[in-house]
Chains A and B, each alone.
Chain A
Amino acid sequence: MSTNTNVAEQEVRRPPAGAGPVAWLHKNLFSSIPNTILTFVGLWISYKLIAGVVDWAIIRAVFTGSDGDACKVPDVGACWPFITHKFDLFIYGRYPEAEIWRANLTFLLGAIGLAGLMIPAVPGKPAFAVFTLLVYPIIAYYLLTGGIFGMPIVATERWGGLLVTLVVAVVGIVASFPIAILLALGRRSKLPIVRYSSIGFIEFVRGVPLITMLFMASVMLPLFLPEGVTFDKLLRALIGVALFSGAYLAEVIRGGLQAIPRGQIEAGDALGLSYPQKMGLIVLPQALKLVIPGIVNSFIALFKDTSLVLIIGLFDLLGIVQQSISSDPKWFSPSTPTTGYVFAGFIFWIFCFGMSRYSQMIERRLSAGDKR
């Protein structure tokens, strides 16, 4: 989890380069013969990479057209009209066109809540936290499913694309949070049954692949319920994802709990605080703040893992791109698959890269505080 080390620190430690670009070049690229060889190899690889991407994405690419025939030219690069024509499908799935504003509003509210929570300069963190973690999920639920204020119900089987990816990821992290806190506290509890059941659960979940958890949710869970009790398929996948991510997050939070000095708890004892008060008022706020980077990293991992739901027949971003590639004859062309995968990869990458940058920034801020 703690793979993000401090880039700035490392740069500061470097001795200042000599004056001028020539000195910089000499020092960083041509300081010795092996180094010079490495530099040329590196330059060659960079050239190949950049030229390849530009050539494929721009020079040889097709930008206009109304079906796959436009991309059936020899030596074609990317087939961009496939993306532009299917954009809505990739983002919202088969969400009814007239209701797309609801999905957009959900995205917007979520973005506002997250921005308020994540950008350090914005005031009113507690209010934003309550909104994002408690109020927003309820609003989002009713906005997306409908059924009140005259909004027609949209069944979950019509959801798809990035919408499902975000729903699975966000619900996964929000729902896994309480689970994770309980498990982390349970694992550090002095009561043996509480401790061992927590350890058992955490180690079990961390020991099996997510895909088997999803299979369990989709083919086993229904048999565990009494006859006549059933869950929505998306909901079952969400349960699987939340339990899975809860176990991982629990270990992250446990790391934070371990970092809180014993004196803090003893001080709480001295004040006559009860266990929930000590944990809720003293230990957890400090511990959670410490592990924000770890939490963000878990979220990145979860976000990438959402793509697995396509294996159990839900259509997330990757699933719907793949479905369009393979089952829509209108868009079939040699470059459609590559274009589709690159598009999906790019969207995933933007989200994950953004989050990992954020976590690095937070880490720097936190360690800056520690260093004084």
Chain B
Amino acid sequence: MREGPAMTTDAPSLPAKRKSMSLIDHIYDPRSRGIILQVLLAVALIWFTAEIVNNAITNLKKQSIASGFDFLGRTSGFDISQSLISYSNTMTYARAFWVGLLNTLLVAGLGIVLATIIGFIVGIGRLSTNWIIAKLASVYVEVLRNIPPLLMLFAIYFAVLKSLPAPRDSIELPFYSYLNVRGLTVPMPTWLDGIGYVVAAFFIAIVAAVLIARWARIRQEATGERFPGVLVGIGLVVLAPLLTFLLAGRPVSFEYPTPGRFNLSGGVTMLPEFVALLTGLTLYTAAFIAEIVRSGILGVSKGQKEAAAALGLRPGQSMRLVVIPQALRIIIPPLTNQYLNLTKNSSLAVAIGYPDLVSVFAGTVLNQTNQAIEVILITMAVYLVVSLLTSFFMNWFNSRMALVER
């Protein structure tokens, strides 16, 4: 492929001429031209960057605007409504950053799981032979994916707020839980001595489940006998910690929420902002995932299903063992994009008051410190890293899936 300006159409560039090349020859030679262009581009890019940096530094200095990353160590002075790690307004901006980041990861992680589940259900529903179910599923998809997610969030948030009662008229739920306009409050567990055994049992069970699954596969390949490895594994992972928990004398105590003057005090509260954001992101992304799943399943050739039927596989087996593994190969790349979109869309939290990274860091911290450049750069870098990590993971998963082919 050649690179170069348009005026050189009539000048065939022959490498034979290479012996003694004048300047003119260099201009007409595609290789030299490529190099010249690249050098020009590199110079321009460097100059452009330098100019920006220079301008920014000049502007900041001239107007004595503070700069640098020292601000991260300063006391934040503001509070955050939801935090997975301990946080108070006497801690640093850096701590506030981590609180925001964890909140973003929490909502994105849960959203990805839920959106995948709903998306698969709706996607398969669109292919249902039941006319009404197929129509309902397509109405869901066509309505939700054609509305801006921001608008959905507003609508869901205010609908959630409207439909829930004031704290004084909280709906009482089982297990000393309460539901009101301030969120869902459940008792907060405090772990006592002995919980370590339960955690250990949990991990041992997982390892055992993996080993059993491997053994079951090897045995099936060798003898053809099937063993319900998955079922046993799940049972093990659930039962082993539960039994240990009971044997260790239930090493947990609960802090129960009690009604206070304004709010319930004590317990753990799931904020309505969190619920609204999670619901909005999940429903919106699920509509796209449904379409991906549908086209993935349609993309598996019909002969595969017929071949499976000819081998005597039941419809469920043929779906699970033949169609889905092949469909996954079509589904995974676009699914990755949807996961990334969901993570990025979680930044819309800023509009409905959920304290995610953008709201806490690119919002409050930026405003308190006035250091727009540093704060926005850090925020963008974080999203980039999260996106790249997700991409890497999904690519790895995809390559594993692709290998299954042979």
Are A and B physically bound partners?
yes
Q: Say whether B9 contacts A273, CB under 8 Å.
A: yes
Whether A31 contacts B4 by the Cβ 8 Å rule is: no
**8 A Cβ contacts from B263-309 to A:** 288, 291-292, 294-295, 298-299, 302
How many whole Å from B136's CB to the nearest CB in chain A?
Answer: 5
B344-398 at interface with A (beta carbon < 8 Å):
344-345, 347-348, 350-351, 358, 362, 366, 372-373, 376, 379-380, 383-384, 387-388
Interface members, chain B 119-174 (any A CB < 8 Å):
128-133, 135-136, 142-143, 145-152, 154-155, 158-159
- Are B154's CB and A215's CB within 8 A? no
Interchain CB contact under 8 A, A272 and B131: no
B8 contacts the other chain (Cβ, under 8 Å)? yes
Cβ-defined contact, B362 with A341, below 8 A: no
Q: Is the CB of A28 within 8 A of B130?
A: yes
Residue in B4, B37, B376, B380 whose beta carbon sits within 8 Å of that of A219 in the complex: B376
Beta-carbon contact of B38 and A212 below 8 Å: no
* Interface-facing stretch out of B56-64, B88-96, B191-199, B317-325: B56-64
Instruction: Please give, as numbers and ranges, the residues of chain B lying within 8 Å of A10 by CB-CB distance.
Output: 298
Complex Cα spacing A228 to B347, Å: 32
Given contacts A322-B154, A341-B154, contact A208 B383 (CB under 8 A): yes
**Contacting pair B129 A348 (CB below 8 A):** no
Q: How far is the CA of A112 from the CA of B45 in the complex (A)?
A: 40
Asked whether any CB of chain B lies closer than 8 Å to the CB of A356, the reply is yes
Of chain A, the residue at the smallest CB distance from B390 is A207
A206 to B380, CA, bound (A): 11
Residue-wise, chain A 321-358 has the 8 Å CB interface mask toward B (1 for contact) of 01000000000000001100110110011001100100
Which residues on the A side are within 8 Å of B58 (C-beta)?
226-227
- Measured CB to CB, the closest approach of chain A to B293, in angstroms, equals 10
Are A208 and B4 in contact, with the CB atoms below 8 A?
no
Question: Contacts of A2 on B, CB cut-off 8 Å?
Answer: 295, 334
List chain A residues, Cβ under 8 A from B41: 193-194, 197
Q: Which of B41, B147, B158 has the most CB of A within 10 A?
A: B147
Asked whether any CB of chain B lies closer than 8 Å to the CB of A178, the reply is no
Contact with B along A272-311 (1 / 0, CB 8 A): 1111110000000000000000000000100011111011
Q: Bound state CA distance, A276 and B158, in angstroms?
A: 54
Residues of A within 8 A of B149 (CB): 304
Contact A349 B132 (CB under 8 A): no
From A39-47, A78-86, A101-109, A141-149, the one touching the partner chain is: A39-47
Q: Is the CB of A209 within 8 A of B334?
A: no
Q: In the complex, how many angstroms separate the beta carbon of B332 from the nearest chain A beta carbon?
A: 14
Given the known A-B contacts A2-B295, A190-B1, A276-B6, are A304 and B148 also in contact in the complex, defined by CB atoms under 8 Å? yes
A215 touches B362 (CB 8 A): yes
Docked-complex contact B150 and A307, CB < 8 angstroms = yes
- Contacting residues, chain B, for A344 (C-beta < 8 A): 151
The answer on a CB contact under 8 Å between A207 and B334 is no
Decide yes or no whether B189 CB sits under 8 A from chain A.
no
> Assuming A39-B132, A189-B3, A275-B4, is B154 touching A220 (CB within 8 A)?
no
Q: From residue A314, how far is it (CB to closest CB) to chain B in Å?
A: 13
Would you call A274 and B4 a contact (CB within 8 A)? yes
State whether A204 touches B384 (Cβ < 8 A): yes
Whole-angstrom CA separation of A211 from B153 in the bound complex:
15
Q: Which residue of B lies closest to A36 (CB)?
A: B130
CB–CB B383/A43 < 8 A: no
Q: Are B376 and A29 in contact (CB under 8 A)?
A: no
Docked-complex contact B148 and A305, CB < 8 angstroms: yes
Contact with B along A175-214 (1 / 0, CB 8 A): 0000000000000011111100100000110111111100
Whether the Cβ atoms of B2 and A275 lie closer than 8 Å is yes
A118 CB, min distance to chain B CBs, angstroms:
18
Given known contacts A207-B388, A212-B379, A215-B362, A35 and B291 CB-to-CB distance under 8 angstroms? no
Please state if A190 and B146 are interface contacts (CB–CB under 8 Å). Answer: no
Contacting A274 at CB < 8 Å: which of B6, B148, B340? B6
B218 sits at the interface (CB 8 A): no
Interface pair B9/A277, CB less than 8 Å apart: yes
Q: What residue of chain A has the Cβ atom nearest to residue B366's Cβ?
A: A219
Q: Is A4 part of the contact surface with B, judged by Cβ < 8 Å? A: yes
Nearest-Cβ distance from residue A217 to partner chain B, whole angstroms: 10
The secondary structure that dominates the A interface is helix
- Chain B residues whose CB sits within 8 angstroms of the CB of A12 once the complex forms: none
CA distance A224 to B372 in the complex (A): 11
Q: For A338, what are the chain B residues with a Cβ–Cβ distance below 8 Å? A: 155, 158-159
Once the chains bind, are B131 and A348 in contact (CB under 8 Å)?
no
Number of B positions contacting A (CB below 8 A): 73
Alpha-carbon distance between A209 and B351 when the two chains are bound, in angstroms: 14
Of A4, A27, A337, A349, the most chain B CB neighbours within 10 A belong to A349
Residues of A within 8 A of B131 (CB): 28-29
Give the CA-CA distance A282 to B143 in the complex, in Å. Answer: 39
Could you say which residues of chain B place their CB within 8 Å of the CB of A208? 344, 380, 383-384, 387
| Contact residues in B for A277 (Cβ distance below 8 Å) | 6, 9
Q: In the assembled complex, which residues on chain B have CB atoms less than 8 Å from the CB atom of A216?
A: 376, 380
Question: Which of these, B59, B130, B340, B347, contacts A223 with CB under 8 Å?
Answer: B59
* Chain B residues whose C-beta falls within 8 Å of the C-beta of A300 in the assembled complex: 146
In the assembly, what is the distance between CA of A308 and CA of B1, in Å?
Answer: 41
A174 interface residue per 8 A CB criterion: no
Given A39-B130, A42-B136, A224-B56, decide whether A211 and B294 contact each other with a Cβ distance below 8 A.
Answer: no
Structural contact, A219 and B2, CB atoms closer than 8 A: no
Residues A45 and B372 in contact, CB atoms below 8 Å apart: no
B146/A356 in contact, CB under 8 A = yes
Closest Cβ of chain A to B120, distance in Å, is 14
Does any Cβ of A come within 8 Å of B42's Cβ? Answer: yes
Rounded to whole angstroms, the CA-CA distance of A224 and B334 in the bound complex is 36
In the complex, what's the smallest C-beta–C-beta distance from B283 to chain A, in angstroms?
Answer: 13
B-side contacts of A111, CB under 8 Å? none
Residue B55 is within 8 A (CB to CB) of chain A in the complex: yes
**Nearest CB in chain A to that of B42: its residue:** A193
**Which single member of A5, A27, A39 contacts B295 (CB below 8 Å)?**
A5
Contacts A209-B358, A276-B6; A29 near B132 (Cβ below 8 A): yes
Q: What are some 22 contacts across the A-B interface (CB < 8 A)?
A: A5-B298, A38-B132, A42-B130, A189-B1, A190-B34, A191-B3, A204-B380, A206-B340, A209-B344, A211-B358, A215-B362, A226-B58, A273-B9, A274-B9, A276-B5, A277-B9, A304-B148, A306-B148, A338-B155, A345-B155, A348-B148, A356-B145
Partner-A contacts on B (CB < 8 A): 1-6, 8-10, 12, 34, 37-38, 41-42, 45, 52, 55-56, 58-60, 62, 128-133, 135-136, 142-143, 145-152, 154-155, 158-159, 288, 291-292, 294-295, 298-299, 302, 334, 340, 344-345, 347-348, 350-351, 358, 362, 366, 372-373, 376, 379-380, 383-384, 387-388
